[in-house]
């Protein structure tokens, strides 16, 4: 599914005079937070502005070594661990690259673009995440300007990713000093190219997920739904906990990559739409009224998808230490999944240390229950979906 972006932005294509621009400009982007859901957008965006693709560089994934080496003494004071890690990424981009960058680009993301856009109240980012770049920057300027010392221009605009026209204004203003002569239209076109590439990339992820789910259902094998924020895919933040489940033989589908094709969604939600309990495939208003946060909305929707899809026998929830955005979602997400008997496991309060011992015990635990119960869970979910009340009753009783 493609989300409409702009009306004919690419139709007007005045080619800008780029002679004043540095053809070898290098842009560094920290691999943090929501970048985990929009990297291709930014790569293609800058490419469209004339930056060579290989010159758009991301910091490495979060790691202990990175944090130790590059954030020492510059730590942002924040209880959100993913935000705290930004300092390490900044440090790496400023001093850890073989070929230094000219620009460190770290947007303050106010809103995100979401396929749930027109079905929810809003698509805002987390306020902590929004302010994250600012608190990290603090660590690099309090004892002299480290950006200037490394010869790097720091560009950190406030961006509303969900509103293309506003986004174009924000980016044109912030980037004009870097790209002399940058016009609103040129930015708008770059935004379109960015989304085009990001959408294509996401579509492929969703296709992979689609195939896996179909195959699992066909072969009656369980798949696991991973629920978290985009940055939980960062090995230094989510600690690759789901990889251990994968190694036990279970495919893992992330909530961010669920298939969105109409036929499948109709199978999962059609009945509720027909009986009037849901307004559309993407309606979450019955379970999540205050649908302001883009990532939270998608998380809730993914939980609902997982609750219904017969191949998803279990869901694993990740959240970071003291996450205020996640707090109110714990119970609803769990209840949504359990309503149709999907097994639910959670890994909460993740922080800097990978809790290896307890992860091993828990992976074994999940694996044990899946081995014994997944067939019955899948059969029952299938029966629930097809409205086979008798089969549901029998399968529910065998549970006792």
Q: Which listed residue (108, 184, 267, 373) binds other proteins by CB under 8 A?
A: 373
Which parts of 73-189 are beta strand (E)?
103-105, 108-111, 153-155, 158-160
Q: Which one of 13, 118, 358, 398 is in contact with other proteins (CB under 8 A)? A: 358
Distance of closest approach, residue 76 Cβ to other proteins, in angstroms: 7
Cα(89)–Cα(32) distance, integer angstroms: 8
Torsions phi, psi of 397, nearest 5?
-70, -35
Kindly state whether residue 92 participates in binding other proteins, applying the rule CB under 8 A: no
Which one of 360, 386, 389, 398 is in contact with other proteins (CB under 8 A)? Answer: 360
Residue 63 near other proteins by CB under 8 A: no
Which one of 10, 290, 368, 398 is in contact with other proteins (CB under 8 A)? 368
Q: What is the smallest separation between the CB atom of 90 and other proteins, expressed in angstroms?
A: 12
Binding residue (CB under 8 A) for other proteins from 345, 350, 374, 380: 345
Q: Which is nearer to other proteins, 120 or 325 (CB)?
A: 325
3-state secondary structure 287-319: CCCCCCEHHHHHHHHHHHHHHHCCCEEEEEEEE
Q: Give the start-end residues of each E strand in the chain.
A: 27-29, 56-58, 103-105, 108-111, 153-155, 158-160, 223-227, 252-254, 312-320, 343-350
Contact between residue 207 and residue 8 where contact means Cβ atoms under 8 Å apart: no
Least Cβ distance, residue 292 to other proteins (angstroms):
23
Calpha distance 376→143 (Å, rounded):
62
| 292 contributes a contact to other proteins by CB under 8 A | no
User: Is there binding between residue 396 and other proteins (CB under 8 A)?
Assistant: no
CB of 208 to other proteins, least distance (A): 6
Q: Taking contact as CB under 8 A, which single stretch among the options 96-104, 177-185, 202-210, 388-396 is the one that binds other proteins?
A: 202-210
Asked if 212 interacts with other proteins (CB under 8 A), we say: yes
Helices (runs of H) and strands (runs of E) counted in the chain: 14, 10
Beta carbons of 307 and 334 less than 8 angstroms apart: no
Q: Which residue has the tokens 């869901």?
A: 315
Q: How many residues bind other proteins (CB under 8 A)?
A: 65
- 10 Å Cβ neighbour count for 8? 7
Contact flag: residue 39 with other proteins (CB under 8 A): yes
Q: Are the beta carbons of 25 and 178 closer than 8 angstroms?
A: yes
235 forms part of the interface with other proteins (CB under 8 A): yes
CB atoms within 10 A of CB 283: 20
Q: Is 341 in the site for other proteins (CB under 8 A)?
A: yes
Indicate whether 74 belongs to the interface with other proteins (CB under 8 A): yes
Which chain residues interact with other proteins by CB under 8 A? 31, 36, 39-40, 43, 53, 58, 61, 72-77, 138-139, 142-143, 201, 204-205, 208-209, 212, 226, 233, 235, 238, 242-243, 246-254, 256-257, 330-331, 334, 338, 341, 343-346, 348-349, 355-358, 360-362, 364-365, 368-369, 373, 399
């Amino acid at each position: 599914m493609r989300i409409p972006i702009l009306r004919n932005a690419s139709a007007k294509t005045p080619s800008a005079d780029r002679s004043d621009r540095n053809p070898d400009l290098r842009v560094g982007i920290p691999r943090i937070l929501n970048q985990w859901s929009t990297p291709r957008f930014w790569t293609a965006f800058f490419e469209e502005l004339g930056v060579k693709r290989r010159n758009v560089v991301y910091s490495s994934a979060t790691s202990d070594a990175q944090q130790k080496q590059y954030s020492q003494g510059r730590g942002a004071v924040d209880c959100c661990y993913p935000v705290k890690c930004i300092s390490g990424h900044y440090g790496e981009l400023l001093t850890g690259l073989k070929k230094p960058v000219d620009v460190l680009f770290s947007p303050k993301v106010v809103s995100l673009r979401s396929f749930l856009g027109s079905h929810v109240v809003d698509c805002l980012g987390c306020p902590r995440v929004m302010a994250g770049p600012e608190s990290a920057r603090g660590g690099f300027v309090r004892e002299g300007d480290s950006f200037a010392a490394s010869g790097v221009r720091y560009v950190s605009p406030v961006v509303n990713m969900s509103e293309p026209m506003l986004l174009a204004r924000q980016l044109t203003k912030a980037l004009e000093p870097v790209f002399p002569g940058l016009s609103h239209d040129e930015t708008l076109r770059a935004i379109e190219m960015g989304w085009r590439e990001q959408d294509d990339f996401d579509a492929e992820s969703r296709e992979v997920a689609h195939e896996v789910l179909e195959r699992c259902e066909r072969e009656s094998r369980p798949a696991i739904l991973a629920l978290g924020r985009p940055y939980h895919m960062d090995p230094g933040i989510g600690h690759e906990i789901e990889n251990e489940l994968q190694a036990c033989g279970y495919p893992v589908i992330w909530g961010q990559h669920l298939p969105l094709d109409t036929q499948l969604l109709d199978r999962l939600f059609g009945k509720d739409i027909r009986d009037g309990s849901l307004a559309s495939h993407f309606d979450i208003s019955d379970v999540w009224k205050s649908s302001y946060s883009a990532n939270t909305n998608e998380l809730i929707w993914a939980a609902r998808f997982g609750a219904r899809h017969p191949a998803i026998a279990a869901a694993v929830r990740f959240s970071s230490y003291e996450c205020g955005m996640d707090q109110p979602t714990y119970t609803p997400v769990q209840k949504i999944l359990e309503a149709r008997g999907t097994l639910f496991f959670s890994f909460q309060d993740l922080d800097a240390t990978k809790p290896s011992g307890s992860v091993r015990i828990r992976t074994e635990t999940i694996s044990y229950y899946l081995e014994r119960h997944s067939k019955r869970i899948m059969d029952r979910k299938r029966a629930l979906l097809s409205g086979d009340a008798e089969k549901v009753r029998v399968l529910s009783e065998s549970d006792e």
